[in-house]
A and B are shown apart, each in its own frame.
Chain A
Amino acid sequence: MLLLTRASKRAIRSEVNAVETVKRKFTAAELQQYKKRSMFGEVWRNYKKSPSAMIGLVVLVIIIVVAIVAQFIYDYDTDIVQQNIKERFQTPSAEHPFGTDQYGRDVLTRVLYGAKYSLAVGIVSVAISCVLGSSLGLIAGYYGGFTENLILRVCEVFAGIPSVLLGIAIMSAFGQSIVVLMFAIGLVYVPMFARTARAAVLPVRDQEYIEAARVSGVGDLKIIFGHVLPNAMSPIIVQVTMGVANGILTASSLSFLGLGVPVPAPEWGAMLSGGREFIRDYGYLTLFPGLAIMITVLVFNLMGDGLRDALDPKLKQ
């Protein structure tokens, strides 16, 4: 500061004076003008800016609406599972746009009706693994040391078991139902979330704003969920979108092994594996459920990307 010339000193003084004028009490009305931009509104405004994310959202809404409507217009016993051997293996036509399967059931009806299984399994299982796994990862990353080692080693043990095998073990221990299936898949992906979250926490943990929060008297839990989590969110969101896809596919594999949703139910994975035998002659049997899975997974990916960007205040225009 000894280096300042007279000119730069004058410049500083004028700046300081400019700051002085700021120093006065604000009235409540003045403050109201700048009052809270709501968190949700903010995120939504940013989310809307991304066309691909909006497409994802719209398509997801359509899928959900279709899944709900299908429950009401189709009767499970007559439309979905009843066999009709006369009409088996019909290629797509005006009457059966997606064709019929080896038992003569309309594939379109089954795909629409089956949306509820795949969506439910995908979303619920990811919710379970995300909440459990991310919490473990956050705790491991934030506290470090022994806690971290313990959590990570246990996760590694579980990650070492092939996911389908672990799913089979859980399914056969607790019985075969869609609820158990959700939990089984949820638990299978806990280690993945734990490790992702922990890796995301590491660069955040040593930031000074974490220390600042501690000096301010903020408790550990509040620091973890108020500061660490929001700043470590992006990889977790990406993991969620991939997790939905993985969940649907794992559910399909389990169904294929006869351990998922019980057989005649039109779960997409089960339909896929049912049509596998006929893939050479009747490819559409696997094409349509496969497309359904693909579109659902894609939709979640688009939304995940959009959400990640919308949640980051730095990317705001």
Chain B
Amino acid sequence: MADTILEVKNLTKYFKTKHGMLHAVDGINFKLARGKTLGLVGESGCGKSTTGRTILRLIEPTAGEIIFEGKDINKLSRSELRHARKDMQLIFQDPYSSLDPRKTVSQIISEPIIANKILKTSADIDARVAELMSTVGLAARLFNAYPHELDGGRRQRIGIARALAMEPKFIVCDEPVSALDVSIQAQILNLLKELQAEFNLSYIFITHDLSVVNHFSDEIAVMYLGKIVEKAPAEQLFDNPLHPYTKALLSAIPIPELGAKKERILIQGEITSPINPPDECRFYKRCNYACDRCKALPELKEIAPDHFVACHLVGEI
């Protein structure tokens, strides 16, 4: 990829718990091209959100490199980090808890502008806030509204406007639509798409909803228990899933057609505990194809161009 905005190398985050090390993110690698979207998919607790937050260094990584525009985010001092964060922002999952209930819409959106001293006079700030509000499709009359007076979709627009305030180059979208109902989801996704085209934004789009990520991503990485198990361009992943876990996930997407029959691959058994997991394939205990070879941890290998899979049995199943 010619123009890489973000490269993550061997990113690892372990949390200390009473029972041992919780492997939330376990040595993941990926690259993100400028203006593109990487979808990060996986079930609850697989480390998607931790990955997103670790990239922004809201959580300190245990190991690994996060190279954003040629600089290792991990090695920045506090003030350098503050500077770097102007270019990297986060959109939150829950538009109810991510907006301070005691601040008005304009106060929320102007916060990053004031904190980073981008604009000085209050007239300039107000004008910029109004501009941002119109960019994300919020009416000017909401300028002094409080978040609780608004519905989920509008609240999420506020969160997006806040993230855009610094004119970032890269945004981590942490399940930005999963707290919204379906019609609003479409609005917000369209908005994010438009903004991407307008400002040449790069997204990491975290979600557990495969149908959302299909429409949205250029490339998709499937996570399972802190590891990327499969990574491929979106279409290729949907047409030709290779990892048993990806296959099962895709088979779970409902088909919007009456009477359509589709074979469901059911995943059985219990998820391996992320606390001190054994050195076998993370999916070993639930995989329908598990065999002795799976007792060794598989590497993420390039099977086809840009299509990476971490499974010993690729091609055999």
Is A208 touching B97 in the complex (CB atoms < 8 A)?
yes
Complex CA distance for A227 and B107, rounded to whole angstroms: 11
Which of B90, B101, B131, B146 interacts with A215 by CB under 8 Å?
Answer: B90
Is A4 touching B141 in the complex (CB atoms < 8 A)?
no
Is A19 touching B256 in the complex (CB atoms < 8 A)?
no
Within 8 A of A (CB), among B220-265: 253-256
Does B215 sit within 8 A of A, measured CB to CB? yes
Is B90 touching A34 in the complex (CB atoms < 8 A)?
no
Say yes or no: A23-B137 contact (C-beta < 8 A), given A15-B183, A213-B111. Answer: yes
Is A12 touching B115 in the complex (CB atoms < 8 A)?
no
* Total contacting residues, chain B, CB less than 8 A: 56
Complex interface bits, B272-316 against A, C-beta within 8 A gives 1, otherwise 0: 000000000000000000000000000000000000000000000
Is B183 touching A11 in the complex (CB atoms < 8 A)?
yes
Complex interface bits, A201-214 against B, C-beta within 8 A gives 1, otherwise 0: 00000011101111
Which partner residue on chain A sits nearest B138 by CB separation? A22
Q: Give min CB distance, B132 to chain A, whole Å.
A: 11
Residues of A within 8 A of B98 (CB): 207-209, 211-212
Does B159 sit within 8 A of A, measured CB to CB? yes
Q: Give min CB distance, A186 to chain B, whole Å.
A: 28
Complex CA distance for A227 and B133, rounded to whole angstroms: 22
Residues of B within 8 A of A218 (CB): 111-112, 115
Is B183 touching A215 in the complex (CB atoms < 8 A)?
no
Does B187 sit within 8 A of A, measured CB to CB? yes
Is B253 touching A34 in the complex (CB atoms < 8 A)?
no
Is A227 touching B100 in the complex (CB atoms < 8 A)?
yes
Does B58 sit within 8 A of A, measured CB to CB? yes
Say yes or no: A314-B148 contact (C-beta < 8 A), given A1-B212, A218-B111, A227-B100. Answer: yes
User: Could you say which of B12-20, B32-40, B63-71, B81-89 contacts chain A?
Assistant: B81-89
Does A157 sit within 8 A of B, measured CB to CB? no
Residues of A within 8 A of B86 (CB): 217
Does B127 sit within 8 A of A, measured CB to CB? yes
Residues of A within 8 A of B140 (CB): 26, 30-31, 34
Does A86 sit within 8 A of B, measured CB to CB? no
Q: Give min CB distance, B147 to chain A, whole Å.
A: 9
Does A162 sit within 8 A of B, measured CB to CB? no
Residues of B within 8 A of A94 (CB): none
Residues of A within 8 A of B133 (CB): 26
Is B187 touching A12 in the complex (CB atoms < 8 A)?
yes
Complex CA distance for A134 and B52, rounded to whole angstroms: 34
Say yes or no: A209-B97 contact (C-beta < 8 A), given A26-B140, A215-B89. Answer: yes
Complex CA distance for A218 and B107, rounded to whole angstroms: 13
Q: Give min CB distance, A201 to chain B, whole Å.
A: 14
Complex CA distance for A120 and B255, rounded to whole angstroms: 73
Is A212 touching B162 in the complex (CB atoms < 8 A)?
yes
Is B211 touching A2 in the complex (CB atoms < 8 A)?
yes
Which partner residue on chain A sits nearest B154 by CB separation? A19
Within 8 A of B (CB), among A88-110: none
**Which 10 A-B residue pairs are closest in the complex by CB-CB distance?**
A216-B112, A208-B98, A34-B143, A19-B137, A209-B100, A218-B115, A230-B102, A26-B140, A313-B146, A208-B97
Binding site for A on B (CB under 8 A): 56, 58, 82, 85-86, 89-90, 92-94, 97-104, 111-112, 115-116, 126-127, 130-131, 133-135, 137-144, 146, 148, 159, 162, 165-166, 182-183, 185-187, 190, 211-212, 215, 253-256
Between A and B, 16 residue pairs with Cβ closer than 8 Å are: A1-B185, A2-B254, A4-B182, A23-B137, A26-B134, A31-B127, A34-B141, A34-B143, A208-B98, A211-B90, A211-B98, A213-B100, A215-B85, A216-B162, A227-B103, A230-B100
